Amino acid sequence: MRVKIAAMVRALPGGLALQAVGSRCSIRIWFMRSLAGAPRLVDRSKTMILRGYIDESKGGDIFNLTAVIADGGTWFYFEQDWINIIGGKNAELKAQGRKPISRYHATDAQFRQKEFKGWERDEKDQFCISLFKLFEKYKMHIVGYSINLKDMVEEIPESKPNPLGFAYPILLCYLMLEIGDFTLSGESESGQKDAVVSLVHDRCDYDAALKEMFDLMLVDPGFKYANRFTTLESAGWENCVPLQAVDFFAYENFKESQRLTLQPRDQRRSLKRVLTHGLMGGRLRGFDRSTLKQLKERIDATEPATKRLLFATARISPKKK
């Protein structure tokens, strides 16, 4: 049986509020760095292995899944610098008789709670800035997708029994398409036409669903980058330091999605700093009502076998007639 997940989600009809060359016209782009200005991850002609780390951020109705991609050497040195900064801060905290932190966590740092409880705002800001400066040193690609779960359920009622279960694999599918177009494509200055990529996601309740969608994409004849993805594994921040950095981008993408769809306000200082000074290339995209309606139409029109696989992956049982 041949699955056609990629064809179902990629070829959505419709227009964009904002569109750029090479983008899928069905998805509203909330933020995109110019492809011409995006950094080339490494300057080699031979095959290389890239690593992409994935994390989620959610609150209220907004759910975001973000991937950060770089080559192995970049991640190695980035991780050492990240560990050293946290180690230095912990040495300072211990010298003051205060409790050290185990990691950087965006939400806890933002609200100065849990391990960051008792920190002054200026202390927190200076610590975060020291970490964020690493994004000015290392070149990475960031790809994020956001979806409003309430809108999704209203437009795709089949997702109601398990909205997150549906959103996780669907957004992973879009992330893989985006990584293919943005990072693995040789059609742009930032592309890596000879690279392959392995993915690691922050462990969650939907580890199995994500792996099933990943495997379906690898055998999908419509996914032209299927042979460029190697593995998808789950890990925890305790043993995977890059997930702490991805947590920052997932949270910032989540907050930016809120800002642009629900709560108009100025862009967050932390995100503005990274976009202004960092060596980042990336896209944040989101589904509006129109796109969700079109996705529903595509799901209804797809062959029954593919549709059953999609909802089975989302842990949603078909309704009994």
**Average pLDDT value for residue range 186-202:** 79
In this predicted model, which residue has the larger pLDDT, 135 or 17?
A: 135
Q: What percent of the chain has pLDDT over 70?
A: 85
Q: According to the model, what pLDDT value does residue 320 have? A: 60
CA-based radius of gyration for the chain = 20
For residue 55, tell me if it sits in a domain.
yes
**Residue 273 CB-half CA count within 13 A:** 17
What's the structural domain count of the chain?
1
Q: What's the Cα-to-Cα distance from 240 to each of 54, 215, 233, rounded to whole Å? A: 11, 23, 11
For residue 232, tell me if it sits in a domain.
yes
Q: Residues 53, 240: contact at Cβ < 8 Å?
A: yes
For residue 149, tell me if it sits in a domain.
yes
**Token pair recorded at residue 101:** 């932190």
For residue 37, tell me if it sits in a domain.
yes
Query: How much is the pTM?
Result: 0.87
In this predicted structure, the answer to whether residue 15 has a pLDDT above a threshold of 60 is: no
For residue 318, tell me if it sits in a domain.
no
For residue 303, tell me if it sits in a domain.
yes
Q: In terms of residue numbers, what domain contains 301?
A: 5-83+140-313
